[in-house]
Each structure stands twice: as structure tokens, then as C-alpha cells.
């Protein structure tokens, strides 16, 4: 490193940072070079390079009159804070979306349960009215007195117009089935959106170092103990 003159190192840095060679050397590379030796630390801190980085990475800021590297650090810090805040907002939006999907799913499940109960009630009443209709038809033919009395009792207990009520209940059953199918489809779609939102949230909050499953010290000690036992058995 000490053999090469500063002019040659400057020329190398200029080729990487100042000339028309995009993505050859960036601010990360210069930071890495600055900790490699004193010479590169001094040369990589010159304003000409950092002015170029400042113009390419943060063009909204004017050319500095003081240290370009210091201004780049300040801009980088502000930009990082903005990105962190934007990431937090994205996570909060996704969590809010998940909560909304969960609320909507609970609402659909409640509506679906009500429609199922309504369908059961309508089907039960429809079955009873059809029994009444059959009993009224059966009265026109001869039957034993016991059976006839039972059918009369069924008819007398009914206080509504059987024909019109059966027609209304048929329509209600069809409507309930249609509503159940609609709610069921909406529930499936909302569940799919919820799973997609959870996957997006997991990707937003994923951190490779924090989320990796590193082996615990106890498991490592057990593995070392097993290896030592195997070695002892081999030596025997």
C-alpha cells in the first residue's frame, strides 16, 4: 500500500467514483476502504468523491460549502430515519388491514350463523305446513276416526293461510340459501385476503438475524458430549 503514490490511488478512486462507471464504487465501498489503511482513510475522505455521491444519491441538496462527507452523513441519517418511519407506517397499515379483515370475517360468520338459523326455522315451519296441507287433503277420503281426529287437530292448530304461507316460506328458503352462498363466498375471499395480508406482514417484519433458529447452548453441549463419547469408543 505504501509503495503506490497518492496520485495513483486518487486515480483509482476517481475511476470508481467520478468517471462514467455507474455502480463501480459507492459510498459503502468508500467506507470499507476507509478502514483498510490510513492512506485510503485519508484519500477516501476527500470532498470530490463525496460531492459526487451526494449529487447522485441526494440530488435535492445543494453542493456543500463545507465538508461533503459530513453533509452526506447527515443526509444518509435523515434518509434512514425516513425509511424507518415509512417501514413502521407500512407495518401499522398492514396490521390495521389484518384487524379489518378479522373483523369482517367475524361479522360474516355472525351473519352466516343467523342465516343458517333462519333457514332451519323456515324449513321446520314449511315442513309443518306441508303436514297441515296433507292432513286437509286426507280429510276428503275415508279414514279411521282416530286418524281423522288427529288430522282435524293438526288443521285446527294452524291459524294461517296454508297455501300463501307455504309459498312465502318457499321464497324465504330460497333467499336464505342464496344469502348463505353469498356470505360463504365472501367469507372465503376475506379469509384469503387475511392470509395474504399476514404473509405481507411477515415479510415486512422479517429479520434474518433475529428470526433465524440458532442452536441453543444446551443442544451444542449435548452434541459435543455425544462427539466426545464417540471418540472414546473409537479409541477403545
What's the pLDDT score for residue 206? 83
Instruction: Clarify whether residues 14 and 120 are in a common domain.
Output: no
Judge if 94 and 194 occupy the same domain. yes
> How confident is the model over 181-218, as pLDDT tens digits?
999 999 999 999 999 999 999 998 887 766 555 444 44
Residues 141, 147: Cα–Cα separation, whole Å = 11
Domain match, 75 and 102 both: no
Q: In angstroms, what CA-CA distances link 111 with 35, 106, 108, 120, 221? A: 65, 9, 5, 14, 56
Q: What pTM value is reported for the model?
A: 0.63
Q: For 103-137, what is each residue's pLDDT tens digit?
A: 999 999 999 999 999 999 999 888 888 877 766 66
Residues 6+ apart with CB under 8 A from 131: 154
Look up the domain containing 11 and give its range.
Answer: 6-79
Domain boundary among 79, 110, 131: 79
Looking at residue 225, the DSSP 8-state letter turns out to be H
Number of helical (H) and strand (E) elements in the chain, helices listed first: 9, 0
Domain count, the chain: 2
Clarify whether residues 197 and 94 are in a common domain.
Answer: yes
**Is residue 226 included in any domain, yes or no?**
no
Q: Which residues contact 50 (CB under 8 A, 6 or more apart)?
A: 27, 30, 67, 68, 69, 71, 72
- What is the C-alpha to C-alpha distance for residues 163 and 113, in angstroms, rounded to an integer? 29
Give the CATH number, domain containing residue 22. Answer: 1.20.1280
231 domain-assigned: no
95 and 199 fall within a common domain: yes
Amino acid at each position: 500500500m505504501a509503495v503506490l503514490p497518492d496520485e495513483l490511488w486518487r486515480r483509482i478512486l476517481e475511476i470508481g467514483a467520478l468517471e462514467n462507471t455507474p455502480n463501480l464504487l459507492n459510498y459503502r465501498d468508500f467506507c470499507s476502504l476507509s478502514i483498510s489503511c490510513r492512506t485510503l482513510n485519508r484519500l477516501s475522505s476527500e470532498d470530490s468523491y463525496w460531492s459526487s455521491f451526494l449529487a447522485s444519491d441526494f440530488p435535492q441538496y445543494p453542493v456543500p460549502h463545507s465538508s461533503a462527507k459530513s453533509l452526506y452523513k447527515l443526509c444518509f441519517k435523515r434518509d434512514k430515519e425516513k425509511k424507518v418511519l415509512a417501514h413502521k407506517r407500512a407495518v401499522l397499515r398492514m396490521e390495521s388491514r389484518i384487524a379489518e379483515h378479522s373483523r369482517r370475517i367475524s361479522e360474516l360468520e355472525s351473519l352466516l350463523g343467523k342465516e343458517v338459523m333462519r333457514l332451519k326455522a323456515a324449513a321446520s315451519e314449511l315442513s309443518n305446513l306441508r303436514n297441515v296441507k296433507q292432513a286437509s287433503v286426507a280429510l276428503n277420503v275415508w279414514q279411521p276416526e282416530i286418524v281423522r281426529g288427529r288430522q282435524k287437530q293438526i288443521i285446527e292448530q294452524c291459524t294461517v293461510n296454508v297455501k300463501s304461507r307455504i309459498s312465502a316460506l318457499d321464497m324465504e328458503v330460497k333467499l336464505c340459501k342464496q344469502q348463505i352462498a353469498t356470505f360463504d363466498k365472501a367469507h372465503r375471499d376475506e379469509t384469503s385476503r387475511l392470509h395474504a395480508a399476514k404473509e405481507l406482514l411477515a415479510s415486512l417484519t422479517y429479520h434474518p438475524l433475529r428470526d433465524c433458529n440458532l442452536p441453543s447452548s444446551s443442544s451444542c453441549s449435548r452434541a459435543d458430549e455425544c462427539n466426545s463419547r464417540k471418540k472414546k469408543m473409537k479409541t477403545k
